[in-house]
Amino acid sequence: MAKTVVVALGGNAIIRSGQAGTHAEQVENARAMAVAVCRMREAGWTVVLVHGNGPQVGNLAIQQEEAAHRVPELPLYWLGAMTEGHLGCLLTLALHDVGKGTLPGVVSIVTHAVVDTEDPAFSRPTKPIGPFFDERQARRYATERGWVVGEDAGRGYRRLVASPRPQRFVEIDAVRALVEREMVVIAAGGGGVPVVADSTGYRGVDAVIDKDLAAQALATALQADALVMVTDVPRVLLDYGTPNARPIVEMTAEQARRHAADGQFPEGSMGPKIEAAIQFVRGGGSVAVITDAERACASLDVVPGVAPGPEVGTRIVATGRP
């Protein structure tokens, strides 16, 4: 069977900074992502695609708020499922367009991620979502709807929700079966729809699962060979934002852990990606990559003993080169 790579695309890869998020913009951005995936297919990889959905859920939450006087508002986890569906459709069509009939099949799965009700994140909601409110509105919603609200970077108040860790995926057997047939699978979009197990099955909970940690959990469950986290920079930088900033070409999981402990990777930027990379490699994966779409494929096929060139992003491996 072909080697398997799980590729995580940020929600900002589909709606980029400064864009309005029109249909045409999202279609064009999805096509750029599809080009990167098709390159991996041509290089012999079976690809599982995980996408973010932050901007899309935020837009949908604003639509819910504005139309609440006409249409009943829906729970957050339903918004997550809706964006999983529409982004899955978007990426599926883009892959067929770019692949031009060469792909054996593209399947998008609305995936449910099981979380633990005892996860500490539920007692400390920190993830801002949806529209901004003034303080009066925010306090009213906190009282009327039981929301946790907080100020977001001086721009106003927003709803804060929990971001628990995914424990497992309800549809993992279906994903595995499709991977074994070497199809392109789109799964765990937005981290998956968060659910908890109960006596009758599962029930949805209002939370947001980190997309990179979900991609790592999915990659480990599938025993994938590689994990690629696509971002908008070619390589991870040490001492980011300072005159001493320098790119990292390759580091071991232990080196990455030490850099993280030194505060090199803030929680709001590279932190989750580095954590996901470390967990994946320590769980048996061969390599985790953090880079942009253009360098993603080249970053996977580095020849042992040969120094990576400028077309390669940051690689996290279990042990260093001999």
| Model confidence pLDDT, tens digit, residues 9-55 | 987 788 887 888 899 999 999 999 999 999 999 999 999 999 999 88
How many helices and strands, by DSSP H and E, does the chain display?
9, 17
What does the alpha-carbon distance between residue 48 and residue 222 come to, in Å, rounded to a whole number? 10
Interval 158-179 mean pLDDT: 97
Which residues, in sequence order, are CB contacts of 146 under 8 Å at separation 6+?
none
3-class DSSP state of 212: helix
Reference 80, options 204, 231, 243; nearest CA is 204
The answer to whether residue 21 is domain-embedded is yes
Confirm whether 3 is a catalytic residue. no
Q: Which two tokens stand for residue 12?
A: 């900002």
Q: Give pLDDT tens digits for 40-94.
A: 999 999 999 999 998 899 899 999 989 999 999 999 999 999 999 999 999 999 9
Give the count of domains, the chain. 1
β 148-151/226-230 pair status:
unpaired
Catalytic residue selected from 10, 59, 191, 211: 211
The answer to the question of residue 270 being in a domain is yes
- What local confidence, expressed as pLDDT, does residue 57 receive? 92
Among residues 10, 11, 54, 80, the one annotated as catalytic is: 11
For residue 239, count other CB atoms closer than 10 A to its CB: 10
CATH number at residue 275: 3.40.1160.10
State the catalytic residue, choosing from 127, 150, 156, 271. 127
The whole-angstrom distance between residue 31's C-alpha and the CA centroid of its chain comes to: 18
Q: Is residue 127 part of a domain?
A: no
Which of the pair, 2 or 230, is modelled with greater confidence? 230
Q: In the annotation, is 12 catalytic?
A: yes
Does residue 281 sit within a domain?
A: yes
Instruction: Confirm whether 19 is domain-assigned.
Output: yes
- Which is the catalytic residue, given 3, 12, 150, 156? 12
Per annotation, catalytic residue among 10, 189, 192, 273? 273
- Which residues, 6 or more positions from 69, have their beta carbon under 8 angstroms from its beta carbon? none
Answer whether residue 130 is part of any domain.
no
Range of the domain at 259: 3-114+168-317
Is residue 100 part of the annotated active site? The answer reads no
Q: What is the pLDDT of residues 256-309, one digit of tens each?
A: 999 999 999 988 789 999 999 999 999 999 999 999 999 999 999 875 555 667
Residue 183 lies in a domain: yes
Structure tokens at 195: 């659910």
For residue 121, being part of any structural domain is answered with no
Active site residue 273: yes
